[in-house]
Amino acid sequence: MTDDIKITRTRAHEMVAAGARLFDVRTEAEFATGAVPGAVNIPVQVIAQAIDQHAQPGDTIVLYCKSGMRSDLAAKVLRGMGFAKSYNLGGIGEW
């Protein structure tokens, strides 16, 4: 793939403004403590099983977690499943 998985704050905002799906891959408990407005919570542990309920393979997807490690993993898992436009913003603080 020619696209980098890791994106900047500016690029993430542009993508979401253009209609990208925004997913928080932290646990439900972490999500409940605060999240980016409009984000959907799909914990990384279940993203492979749950993504079809929230996105299609052609959709642009922006993911974040606490530090960026889980969202990096989630982006790689999704790309492996055919969601080629999956990107890692990093930690929630990057938003």
Estimate the share of the chain in helix, then strand, then coil, as percent rounded to the nearest 5: 40, 20, 40
Strand partners, 22: 62
Instruction: Quote the DSSP letter at residue 32.
Output: H
Whole-angstrom Cα distance, residue 19 to residue 22? 9
The predicted model scores a pTM of: 0.96
Reported as a single tens digit per residue, the pLDDT across 18-52 is 999 999 999 999 999 999 999 999 999 999 999 99
Give me the active site residues, please.
Answer: 65
Residue-wise pLDDT tens digits, 42-82 = 999 999 999 999 999 999 999 999 999 999 999 999 999 99
Domains and CATH numbers, the chain: 9-94 (3.40.250.10)
Please count the other Cβ atoms lying within 10 Å of the Cβ belonging to residue 23. Answer: 29
